[in-house]
Amino acid sequence: MTETVHVGIAPSVRIENQIIDKKANKWESVLLHLSVFAILLPAAAESCSASLVVLSFLIPRGWRFVPKLHPIVQVFRTFWKTLFFVWLLLVLASVLQYFAHGDALDFKPYFRLMGKQGVWGTCLIAAFLYLQMKRSKSFLNPRALLVFSLSLLIYAVLQRTYGFDWVHGFAARLGSHREAYGVFRVSGWMDHPLTFAFNLMLFSLFSLAQGLWLWQGSERKEARFWFVHTAILFAILLLTDSRYPILLTFLLILVGLAWEFPKLRKLLAGGVVLLGVVVVGLGLFLPQESFGRWGELFDSKVALEQRFDRLIFWKINWQLFWNEPWIGTGLARYESTLLDTYLHAGYTSLERKYNAHSIYLQTLADGGLLGGIGLLILLTALGRLAIEVRKRFHHLGLVLIFLATLGGGLVQNHLRDTEYLFALWTCIALCLSGLLVKRKGQAVDADAKI
pLDDT tens digit string along 105-144?
A: 889 999 999 999 999 999 999 999 988 887 878 888 888 9
- Residue 266: predicted pLDDT: 82
Sequence-distant (≥ 6) Cβ neighbours of residue 410 within 8 angstroms: 358, 360
User: Which of 69-78, 226-235, 260-269, 425-434 has the lowest average pLDDT?
Assistant: 69-78
- Residue 130: predicted pLDDT: 87
Helix H or strand E encompassing 4? strand 4-6
User: Cβ-count burial of 316 within 10 angstroms (0-12 exposed, 13-18 middle, 19+ buried)?
Assistant: buried
Residue 271 has pLDDT above 90, yes or no: no
- Residue 19: predicted pLDDT: 45
- Residue 303: predicted pLDDT: 67
Measured CA to CA, the distance from residue 439 to residue 172 in angstroms comes to: 46
Specify the amino acid at residue 308.
Answer: F
Averaged pLDDT of the chain: 85
- Residue 449: predicted pLDDT: 38
Mean pLDDT within 404-421: 95
Q: What is the pLDDT of residues 177-197, one digit of tens each?
A: 888 888 999 999 998 999 999
Measured CA to CA, the distance from residue 378 to residue 372 in angstroms comes to: 10
- Residue 151: predicted pLDDT: 96
At 6, is the secondary structure helix, strand, or coil? strand
Q: What is the pLDDT of residues 277-335, one digit of tens each?
A: 777 776 666 666 656 676 666 666 666 666 778 889 999 999 999 999 999 999 999 99
Mean pLDDT within 64-69: 61
- Residue 371: predicted pLDDT: 95
Residue 87 has pLDDT above 70, yes or no: yes
What are the sequence ranges of the domains in the chain?
4-449
Which of 149, 177, 187, 145 lies closest to 43, judged by CA? Answer: 187
Q: Report which of residues 61 and 425 the model is more confident about.
A: 425
Q: What is the pLDDT of residues 333-371, one digit of tens each?
A: 999 999 999 999 888 878 888 899 999 999 999 999 999
Mean pLDDT within 216-245: 92
Which of 374, 429, 427 lies closest to 117, judged by CA? Answer: 374
Q: What is the pLDDT of residues 150-175, one digit of tens each?
A: 999 999 999 999 999 998 888 899 98
Mean pLDDT within 367-376: 96
Residue 76 has pLDDT above 80, yes or no: yes
DSSP 112-164: HHHIIIIIHHHHHHHHHHHHHHT-SS-S--HHHHHHHHHHHHHHHHHHHHH-B
β-pairing, 179-180 vs 437-439, is unpaired
- Residue 445: predicted pLDDT: 44
Residue 13 has pLDDT above 60, yes or no: no
Residue 422 has pLDDT above 50, yes or no: yes
Contact 431, 390 (CB under 8 A): no
> In the beta sheet, which residues pair with residue 180?
183
